[in-house]
Structure formats: C-alpha cells, structure tokens
Amino acid sequence: YEISACLVGSEMCIRDSGVGDVISFNDREIRLSLVEGGRVCITGEGLKIVGFEKRTGEFKMVGAVVGVKFLSGGQTTLKRFFK
C-alpha cells in the first residue's frame, strides 16, 4: 500500500495503490474509500481522475488540490499520504 503526491506548477498529482472504490467525484471534490478502511475527501479545482483500477486499488488524479480530509482511518494513513 502506497500513497504519493507531487506538485507540478499549480497542479497536484496524487497516486494511491490502496483505493477500494471511488464514492463520488466532480471537478471540485473526490471521495474515496480505502482498502485498509476509512475514507478520504479531496477538494480543489479542476480535479480529474486520470486512472483507477479497482482490482489493484491503483488511483491517479490531477488538479489544483485545496484540501485533503481523512473522514475516518488512522494517522498512519495521513503519514503515508505525505511521504
């Protein structure tokens, strides 16, 4: 299980290998459920899912991220996110 984020200009690219499902999404908010439990809400502008493979849990998105909120889970998830 791995989460990585990189900033390129004003856009952030997030890659996660532990996503269980995409709960909902639009260009301002993406809600995910994680394989290890818990949910994540990513907010921003111009958010776009560029890849999701449910079988492997691999998820990729781009956009101007304003906030990331862990709705449940643990702080180990937060620590891994900002690796």
User: pLDDT of the chain along its 83 residues, tens only?
Assistant: 456 666 666 666 666 778 899 999 999 999 999 888 889 898 999 999 988 988 888 888 888 888 888 887 554 444 555 54
pTM over 0.85: no
pLDDT at res. 73: 58
Q: Which neighbouring-strand residues pair with 4?
A: 15
Nearest by Cα to 58 from 34, 79, 28, 27: 34
- Placement of tokens 């709960």 in the chain: 23
Q: Are 31 and 49 in contact (CB under 8 A)?
A: no
Letter string b/e over residues 16-48, b meaning 16 or more CB atoms within 10 A of that residue's CB: bebbbeeeebeeeebbbbbeeebbbebbbeebe
Nearest by Cα to 38 from 83, 76, 82: 76
